Structure 1
Amino acid sequence: MGSDRSGLYRMLPSVEKILSDPEVEGAVRSFPRPVATEAVRTVLDEVREEMRSGAGPAESDLSSPVVYRDRIVLKLRELLRPSLRPVVNATGVVIHTNLGRAPLSEDAFDRARPIATRYSNLEFDLEAGARGSRYAHAERLLRRLTGAEAALVANNNAAAVLVALHALAAGREVIVSRGELIEIGGSFRLPEIMQASGARLVEVGTTNRTRPDDYRKAIGPETALLMKVHLSNFRLEGFTADVPSAELARIGAEHRIPVLYDLGSGAFVRTDPRGEPTAREELESGPSVLTMSGDKLLGSVQAGILLGRKAEIERIKNSPMMRAVRVDKLTLALLEATLLAYLDPEKVLADVPVLRLISRPAHAIRQDADRLREAVLARLGERADAEIVEGESEAGGGAIGQPPIPTRLVAVRVERIAPDRLAARLRAFDPPVIVRVRNDRVVLDPRTLFPEEFEIVADALAAAASGARAAGGVEP
C-alpha cells in the first residue's frame, strides 16, 4: 500500500511544470511570482495530505497541471488578501473598539488624501521659511473649539495621560480617588500607567465615596498633581460620593497644585441634552490639563488630545517622552479635517458619522428597519423569519455617560441553522457582517449600517442560509 502511494505521489507535477503550463501561467500572471510559487507548493502539500486520507484528485488527473489551476488562484487570493479588512457593523454599537471605533467621513478622508500622498508643511513654517511645529496645525482649531489656552496631540489618550503624568509629576506624588483607579480596554490600568510615568500614586477616599477633605489631607511637600479620572466604562450607583472637577480645581488653586482631568471619551457637542458636559464645559470648571480621545465621541482618528493652560501644556510639549508618543502627518490631517466640520454647529451632526449615527431620529430608524426586513425576506423568503423588535443601540467606546439610544432591531431566525452558527457564517462572508445574538435569534441594528450595506447584509444572510459563501469568504 505504501509503495502504491509513493508511486501516486511521483505522479504529481513539479512546481515548475505547473507554473509553466499555459493555462496556469495565464491565470496567475497578474500575481507576484514568489507568491504564486508559494501558492503552488501549498496546494501540492494539501493534495498530498488529501491523498493520505484516500481523497484528492482522480489518479488520471494527478499529473495534469490544469487540474490545480483554480485551487492555486483561490490560494493566491487568500495569501494576498489584507488581514485588516472592512466589515459591516450590524451590532448597533456606534463606537465599537473591536471594529475600529469611529468611522471617518468621506470628506475628512478626501481632505487628508493629498497630505498622505504628497509632501506637506508638517514641520515647516511657510511664512518664516524655517522649521515649524507639527502640533500647530491642530492646535488652532482645538483652542477655538474648546476655549483652551493651549493644545497638544499624542497618539492616543493613554499616551496623553502617560506623558502628562511624566512631564508634570515624575518622581513626585499624584493624588487620585480610590474610586477612579480604572482599568481601560486591553487591561491597561491607571496605576500601571502612573508607575510607567515615574509618578507616585497616592490613593484617597474609598471605592464608593471620596470627599474634598480627602484630597486636602493628602496634600504634602511631594504633591505634584491632583488627578480626576472619568469612569468611562462602568458606573458606581447607590451610596456614593465623588469630587466634581470644579471643586477639585478649587482645591488645586488653594494649594497652587495643577489638576489633571482624564475625560476619557470626551465630546465637543452634546448629541443628547441628558449627555455629559462637553470638553469646553469641563475646561470651564478649571482643570489645568484635560485629556480625551480623538476616535470616540469626537468622531475622528485615534489620538490623545491635551487641552488646558499654556504653562502646563508647554511643559508636556517639551518633555522628551512627547517625541515617543507624537502623531504622524496622516493622523494630524484626519484630525484637522474632522475639527473643521465642528466649525459649523448646524451641520456637524450630519457631517461627522459618529454623531450622525448616534443622533439618527426614531422615524428614520423605523424606516431603515422596515427596509432591512424587506431586503432580508426578499432574499430568503420562507427560509427565514424576520421580525422588528424594540431595542437599544450603544454609543460605545467607554461613553458610559451617554443615555441609552432607543432603536428598532430586525430579529432573524433561519430554518435549520442555530443563531451562533448563522453569526459565524455571516462573519465568513466577504465583507464580514458582524451581528449580535439575542433570545435565540440573530439581531441586526440598522443604526450602524451605511446605506449601501443593507443589500450586503441581505446577501450575506442568503449565502449563509444556503451554505454558500461570497468570493474570498472562508467557511467557518
Structure 2
Amino acid sequence: MENNKKQDILRQFPSVQSILQDNAVVKLAKFFPREFIKEKIEELIKSERNKIIDLLNSENGVTAPDNFNFTLDYFVKKLLDGLNNFSYSLKKVVNGTGVVIHTNLGRSILPERALKNIYRISSSYSNLEFNLAEGKRGKRYSHIEYLLKKILKCEKALAVNNNAAAVFMALSSFCAGAKKEVVVSRGELVEIGGSFRIPDIMKASGAQLVEVGTTNKTKLQDYESAINENTALLLKVHQSNFRMSGFVYAPSGGDIASIGKKYNIPVMEDLGSGSFVGLEKFGLPYEPTAQEVVDTGVDIVTFSGDKLLGGPQAGIIAGKAEYVDMIALNPLNRAFRIDKMTLAALEAVLFEYLDTERAVKNIPTLFLLAQTEKEIRKKAVKLLNKIKRSKNIDKNSFSFKIVEDSSIVGGGALPDYKLKTFALSIVHTKIGASGLANFFRGCNTPVIGKIKNGEYLLDMRTVSEDDFNDISDAIALIPK
C-alpha cells in the first residue's frame, strides 16, 4: 500500500487524551491510578498500530483504508475489556503439581484464623511494640514467645524473617569479635534452595568452619578432637533436603550436646523444615519434631515457619535463655526482624498447635498431608463430573480420566518419599501436554500442573474444591 494511504488509516486512531476524557474511562479513575490508565492506553494504541502496519506491509495487505474502523468507542471497549481482567503481578494460582510445600508457588497456605488476624492487625493500629499492662514500649517477640515456650518447652524464643537469617544471626552472635570456630560434620554441609550453602552462610557470618568426619560417617570423637580454645559452637545441620543410605553414621544432637556440656561449649541444631507434629500420623517416615530436638538438650534450635509448620515465612530461634537473649541483642536482629503481618499470622498458627488434632484440621499444610487416598480420589471424581456436566467444554476435543500418581511433601522435607495420590489426566486431540501447560499458565487464574508420560496431570492432593471453577473455566477457553 502507498505510504499516504497507510497514514490515512493510522490517522483514524484517536489520541490518548481523547480516550482519557471518555466518560467510561474517567470512571476507571475510581479503581486505577490515572498514570496507569494512560500507560495502558498508550500500550493499546502502540499494539494496534503495529498490528496494522504489519498487516499492510504483508503480501496479503488490505488496499482500502475504509476496511478499518478505529473509532474512539473501539479503543475504549478494548481498554475496558483489558482492565476488567486486570490482576497484579503476584497472582493466585491453582497448584496441581502435587508438591504440598511448593517453594515456587508460595510454600504453605495460611489457615483461616491467620488470614483474619492479618487483616485485623493490618487494618488498624496495634500494640506491636507497646506493653499494654505497663503503658510503655514493649517487645514485638512477646506476641509469639509465650506460645513457642509453651509448645516447645523451651526457655526463650524469637523469630526472624527466614531460617537462613536465623542461622546467620545465631552464627554471627556466637562468633562475634575474635575469629571463632564452628565445628560441623562434612556430611551436613548442605545446600538449600537458591544455591545458599551452609559453608557460605558460615563464612559470611564471620564463623571459621571446621569440618569433621567424612561425607558418610562422622563419629562423636570427631567433634571432641576438633575442640580447642577457639571453638565457639558445635553445629548439627539436619539433612532435610537429601538422604544418605548404606554405610553411614552421624551422632544425634543429644550426643553432641553431651560433648558440649563436657567442654562448656554451646550446641546448635538447624532443623530446617521444623515440624510440631510427628509425621508418622500421616503415614510418613519419622522426622524429628522441634519439641524432640529441644528436649535432647541442645542449646539452640532453628527452623522454618513456612514449611512443615504451615505458617508464614519466618525463622524460629528457640532454646536456652542466655543464648536466645544474646542472639536477640545482635544488631542484625533489626535487619532480620519480622513485621506485624508475619507476627499476626505466626501467632494465629502457633495458637492452633495448642490442640494438635485441631492443628491438623485447620492448618492447610497438615491437612493436605493427612488426606487419605480415598478422600483424594473422591475429590478427583467430583472435579471430573463437574467438567463432564459443563456445557462450555467441547467434550469431543478432550479425553479425561483419573489416574494413580504420586505427590511429594516439598520444602526440602522427606525428599525421597512419595505419597500415593490421584490425578486428573487431560488430553487434547490437537494440543500436546506442553501446549496445554503453556495455555493453563496464561489463564486469569493460572493453573500449574505436571506432565507425565506425555499427559497433562492435575494432582488432586494439592487441588482444593475452591479451585474447581477456575480449572473448569480454563478448560472451556482452550480452542478446539
TM range (shorter): over 0.9
Question: Residues 51-72 of structure 1: CA distance to partner in whole angstroms, max 9, x if unpaired?
Answer: 2212599833456211212222
C-alpha separation in 1, matches of 2:357 and 2:21: 63
Aligned to 2:174: 168
Counterparts in 2 of 1:401 and 1:256: CA distance versus 1, 3 Å: farther
Specify every segment of 5 or more residues in structure 1 that has no aligned partner in the other structure, as ranges. 468-476
Post-superposition shift, 1:236?
1.4
Question: Residues 172-203 of structure 1: CA distance to partner in whole angstroms, max 9, x if unpaired?
Answer: 11011111111111111111111111111111
Counterparts in 2 of 1:221 and 1:30: CA distance versus 1, 3 Å: closer
Match for 1:299 among 304, 310, 314? 310
Correspondence list, 1:25-64, <5 A: 31-54=32-55, 59-60=65-66, 61-62=68-69, 64=71
Correspondence list, 1:151-162, <5 A: 151-162=157-168
Aligned to 2:72: 65
Alignment pair present for 1:268 and 2:276: yes
Compute the TM-score of the two structures, normalised by the length of structure 2. 0.92
Match for 2:291 among 275, 280, 289? 280
Counterparts in 2 of 1:129 and 1:285: CA distance versus 1, 3 Å: same
Question: Residues 27-67 of structure 1: CA distance to partner in whole angstroms, max 9, x if unpaired?
Answer: 77754332222222222212221222125998334562112
Aligned to 1:405: 419
Question: Residues 253-299 of structure 1: CA distance to partner in whole angstroms, max 9, x if unpaired?
Answer: 11111111110001001232532121111111111100000001111
C-alpha separation in 1, matches of 2:402 and 2:70: 56
Counterparts in 2 of 1:455 and 1:72: CA distance versus 1, 3 Å: closer
Post-superposition shift, 1:155?
0.6
Aligned to 2:474: 460
- Paired positions, count: 465
Aligned to 2:118: 112
Alignment RMSD, CA only?
A: 2.1
Counterparts in 2 of 1:319 and 1:420: CA distance versus 1, 3 Å: same
C-alpha separation in 2, matches of 1:25 and 1:352: 44
Correspondence list, 1:257-406, <5 A: 257-273=265-281, 274-379=285-390, 380=393, 381-400=395-414, 403-406=417-420
C-alpha separation in 2, matches of 1:286 and 1:401: 27
Question: Residues 315-340 of structure 1: CA distance to partner in whole angstroms, max 9, x if unpaired?
Answer: 10111111110111111111000111
Correspondence list, 1:174-213, <5 A: 174-213=182-221
CA contact (8 A) 1:28 1:73 kept: no
Post-superposition shift, 1:131?
1.0
Question: Residues 367-388 of structure 1: CA distance to partner in whole angstroms, max 9, x if unpaired?
Answer: 1122122233334434322222
Question: Residues 385-409 of structure 1: CA distance to partner in whole angstroms, max 9, x if unpaired?
Answer: 2222222211111112785321122
Specify every segment of 5 or more residues in structure 2 that has no aligned partner in the other structure, as ranges. none
Structure 2 counterpart SS, 1:82: coil
Structure 1 counterpart SS, 2:127: coil
Structure 2 counterpart SS, 1:272: helix
Compute the TM-score of the two structures, normalised by the length of structure 1. 0.92
Overall identity of the aligned pairs, in %: 42
CA contact (8 A) 1:384 1:412 kept: yes
